[in-house]
A and B are shown apart, each in its own frame.
Chain A
Amino acid sequence: MTQGERHEREPLPRPPREPSGMAEAEALVAEDVRRQYGDVVALDGVSLSIPEGEVFGLVGPNGAGKTTLVRALTGTTRCEGTVRVLGVQPADVDDARVGLLPQSFHPADRLTARELVTYYAGLYDESRSVTGVLDDVGLSEDADTWYENLSGGQQRRACVGTALVNDPDVLFLDEPTTGIDPAGRRSLWRLIDDLAAGGTTVLLTSHSMSEVERLADRVGLLRDGRLVAVGSPESLIADHGGDSRLVVDAASPADREALAAALDAEVTEHDGRLAVRDVALADVGDVVSRLEAAGVDVESFEWSEPDLSDVYLRLTGESFVPTDVDAHPGVEREVEG
């Protein structure tokens, strides 16, 4: 993620999932998985275990190895180390139990959405109802439109449909919501929730931290081919998210050093915006008052708790300085000054 790139707003709360009551078996296991392309190390000793029924989110910068790890787990690339899917090597797994939506998947464009899903349904001895799948991905009304004439979001939803048609036990979704509008995205989120509630194991890669925070039971963060952190979103945020942050839009220039002294806190400045860390929500009014008392003409401010984006930025070592009011994710409060 680069400086100035917009984050998404607060994710919807994740619905509670009922425990299955059964002992959890491992759906996916990777042990010391390595993959190298020439001199480029794509995976550098990744070990991971995902129990059945879990939604696991895989995040990381471009080139971190997310897609390579998906390919290693699906057996579509060679790798060193041990990979097991539903207890067996990927080559031995029952294909009917696995679903995959590859990254940048482009099916035949002169087929309708219905024909596309029908095609993939025809590859399995048993499949879900094509109409039901199209309903699930919200394409019932456009089912008879050629793929090339669907919008980008509809195309992606049709592709997701092809991964669901065999009712898989393990579902790999490599950036499933890329190009999908917010409504379509939330529709797919609900679908993934339903699949997870039904016991499907989902491995999801995404660049959307709010999506992963919303969907995943656990999150793994890849950097340079290594899994640098794994845990629930809550635990990762608690361990690596850092402090809450107050970002102030100031109409008048501010003396950062003086403000830091007045607030007794670290103040950073970028493009006229001031950021103060570790401010409790209850203290926001007091901080703003002190800023104004120090001669800062506050136009607006935004307070946010740390979230998965902060974890991501901290663990990937990428820099980020908010440059507009939408830039920082999390619980946001904005007041016109």
Chain B
Amino acid sequence: MSRGRRIGATFRAALRAFVRRKTAVFFTFFFPVLLILIFGALVGTRPTGGGLFAREPAFYIPGYLAVVVVFTPLSRVGSTIARHRDGNRFEKLATTPLRRWEWLLAHTLVNVAIIGLAGLLLFVLVIAVTGATVVVGPALLALVPLVVVGVALFCGLGAILGRLADSQDGVIAASNSVALPVWVLSETFVPPSMLPAWFRPVTAFSPLTYFSRGVRTAAAGGDPTAPLLVLAALAAAFFAVGAAAVPRTE
């Protein structure tokens, strides 16, 4: 009960603090929408013409969703940690019953709520704008745990970056440097067949690869259990390391 109270209090405070930053809220939703409009509507897909969009529209659903699943938690959790550190908030929290993993869980839940909404918006837009087709059925519900687990994973990674970077600027630079290659090279926008043969095994080391595989499988009506389990195991590991990385002292 008391643990739930602590996590709930932190969740409410963090959610309020976020939604009152109108610019942050706007761009959290606007950035992925902009990407869909550019890549989905303006560039479009050329399934037979090669180039960047060589596959059918549905192939790119994980890539669009990954925009919010990767970028948003990485930058938000990382910069939140930097702000907390700059304001000596962790020093104060260290003298309260709140534990580091509880703090990270509360902020992860905030990200799940925000990214869940953004992801839903993206999903609808991808279908409407790009003409991607999905198999509507029970498997599609697996998108929910895939997004939740993916967000938790990248919240953990964001906490690690927040700990390692010494400023908010550093967090933003680090999160972009990590997120961009992960986003592009995890079977999202670039099909493995387009990568050099020697590099293809490397994509298996990216957690986002399992998110992509899971989303693609679920959208096609298949069983995404295997990639979801791998993603969940990785998320648990990243969350644990991220929770340990949340600063407790100066």
| Chain B residue with the shortest CB-CB distance to A105 | B88
Q: Which residues does chain B contribute within 8 Å of A125, judged by CB atoms? A: 2, 5, 97
Say whether, besides A71-B91, A98-B95, A110-B20, A123 and B6 are in contact (CB < 8 Å). Answer: yes
Q: Which residues does chain A contribute within 8 Å of B94, judged by CB atoms? A: 74-76
A110 to B5, CA, bound (A): 21
Q: Is A24 an interface residue when CB atoms closer than 8 A count as contact? A: no
State how many residues of chain B have any CB contact under 8 Å with chain A: 28
Q: Which residues does chain B contribute within 8 Å of A108, judged by CB atoms? A: 13-14, 17
Q: Is B55 an interface residue when CB atoms closer than 8 A count as contact? A: no
Q: Could you tell me if B95 and A99 are in contact, using CB atoms closer than 8 angstroms?
A: yes
Interface residues of B in 2-57 (CB under 8 A from A): 2, 5-6, 8-10, 12-14, 16-17, 20-21
Select A123's contact among B16, B97, B248, B250, beta carbons within 8 Å.
B97
Number of A-B contacts (CB under 8 A): 89
| Chain A residue with the shortest CB-CB distance to B17 | A108
A101 to B17, CA, bound (A): 21
* Chain A 111-154: CB-based contact to B (< 8 A → 1; otherwise 0): 10001101111111100000000000000000000100000000
Select A96's contact among B9, B20, B87, B97, beta carbons within 8 Å.
B97
Q: Is B98 an interface residue when CB atoms closer than 8 A count as contact? A: yes
A317 to B24, CA, bound (A): 50
Q: Is A106 an interface residue when CB atoms closer than 8 A count as contact? A: yes
| Chain A residue with the shortest CB-CB distance to B103 | A123
Q: Is B200 an interface residue when CB atoms closer than 8 A count as contact? A: no
Q: Which residues does chain B contribute within 8 Å of A98, judged by CB atoms? A: 95
Q: Could you tell me if B2 and A76 are in contact, using CB atoms closer than 8 angstroms?
A: no
Q: Is B96 an interface residue when CB atoms closer than 8 A count as contact? A: yes
Q: Is A49 an interface residue when CB atoms closer than 8 A count as contact? A: no
Select B13's contact among A96, A111, A166, beta carbons within 8 Å.
A111
> 16 additional contacts, CB 8 Å, given A74-B94, A76-B250, A122-B9?
A71-B91, A71-B249, A98-B95, A99-B95, A100-B91, A102-B92, A105-B92, A107-B87, A108-B13, A118-B9, A122-B6, A122-B12, A123-B6, A123-B96, A124-B96, A146-B20
A residues adjacent to B (C-beta < 8 A): 71, 74-78, 95-96, 98-111, 115-116, 118-125, 146, 162-163, 166, 172
